[in-house]
Structure 1
Amino acid sequence: MTRLHTALVAIVIVICGLGVRALWDGPVAKYAGDALYTALIYALLVLLWPRIRPWTAGIAAAALSWMIEFAQLASIPRWLQPLLGSTFNPPDLLWYAVGAAMTAVAHAAYTRRG
């Protein structure tokens, strides 16, 4: 996957995240946002390391998302809260894993196709 393709995927993920927030409210938007947040982290990892294997990127993206979530148990600086959140929510951990797994499956299918 080229860096250009990966950058385009990252842009599409951001657009999807903004679209979900604009169209829905409540748990659908929140948990879809969690999955997309991890998908964006995944895309950024692939952007940095284009040869990373899909499952390695998936595990790393989920781990980074979980680290950020667990950091919310401590005090996140106020200026970072819009990006990283401020309240620990255990169901978020599941949706981060879902986002990482779905993105890894899509990436693996794309690389097998090519």
Structure 2
Amino acid sequence: MSARQGRDSPLRTRLLASGAAAATVTAGLAITAGVEGDVAKSAGDALYTVLVQTLVVAVAPRLKPAMAAGIAVGISWTVELLQLTGVPSELSARSVLARLVLGSTFNPPDLFWYAVGASFGWLIHTAVRSRRLTAR
């Protein structure tokens, strides 16, 4: 395997995305521990979408940044809109994991913060990808 193939391999991309997912969770926990109120809520919403994007890239490492960000914001918006049905609320009452993944109550501003998170994820993904491509 050449150095070029090693830098651009799906396995390497998956490992980087998995590391980014762990860093995103760590950032979310740090914000939750150190900040309160609307700032923490908004940052958490944005980081939720960043996490979704890292997981999307881990599953499909050859996706371009714009497509990965679009899928991530689409998933985030779908989960938020699903809250209008009451199903996530019912599941969240029974499971901490469901509460973390699905939330419980629809909040329109969350849709904006998910887009902010997708934009941030796109920016970072683009920068990392460009750096890896120019390093060839």
Q: TM-score range by the shorter chain?
A: over 0.9
Aligned to 1:91: 109
Partner of 2:85, secondary structure, is coil
For 1:22, give the aligned amino acid.
A
1:7 aligned partner = 18
Work out the CA distance in 2 between the residues paired with 1:46 and 1:82. 21
Letter of the structure 2 residue corresponding to residue 67 of structure 1: T
* Larger CA deviation: 6-15 vs 70-79: 70-79
Q: 1:83 offset after TM fit, Å?
A: 2.5
- For residue 65 of structure 1, the aligned residue among 76, 98, 107 is 76
Provide runs of 4+ in structure 1 moved above 4 Å: none
Which consecutive unaligned segments of at least 5 residues does structure 1 have?
A: none
- 1:18-33 to structure 2, matched below 5 A, reads 18-33=29-44
State which of 105, 108, 112 in structure 1 corresponds to 2:123: 105
CA distance in 1, matches of 2:75, 2:38: 22
**Structure with bigger gyration radius:** 2
How far apart are the structure 2 equivalents of 1:26 and 1:49?
Answer: 35
The CA deviation at 1:81 is 2.5
TM-score between both structures, scaled by the size of structure 1: 0.95
- Number of equivalenced pairs: 114
Once the 2 structures are TM-superposed, how far is the Cα of residue 82 of structure 1 from its aligned partner? 3.5
RMSD: 1.0
Name the SS for the 1:88 alignment partner: coil
Given candidates 26, 41, 61, the residue that maps to 2:52 is 41
